[in-house]
């Protein structure tokens, strides 16, 4: 990982993008960025380069429809 990517990953961790935290995509701007995402109760606008540093795993809803 280059220095720029490492700095971006550190910044994302500082604002709450941590392993195990749920991330929800709320909206995309017309041309694809920024992305509006929610982590916990906080909402952030991320550029695609920032979003590319976030590793996600899709969580399927349970039988009650909850994720």
Cβ neighbors of 15 (< 8 A, separation 6 or more) are 39, 42, 44
Range 22-39 average pLDDT: 92
pLDDT band at 1 (very low <50, low <70, confident <90, very high): low
CB 36 within 8 A of CB 45: yes
pLDDT at residue 28 in the model = 94
pTM of the model: 0.74
- For residue 64, pLDDT beyond 80: no
Q: Please tell me the class of the 3-51 domain.
A: mainly beta
pLDDT band at 46 (very low <50, low <70, confident <90, very high): very high
Range 18-23 average pLDDT: 90
């Amino acid at each position: 990982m280059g220095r720029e990517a490492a700095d971006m990953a550190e910044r994302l961790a500082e604002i709450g993008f941590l392993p195990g935290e749920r991330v929800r995509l709320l909206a995309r701007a017309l041309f694809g960025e920024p992305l509006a995402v929610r982590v916990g109760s906080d909402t952030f606008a991320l550029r695609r380069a920032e979003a590319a540093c976030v590793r996600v795993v899709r969580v399927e809803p349970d039988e009650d429809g909850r994720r």
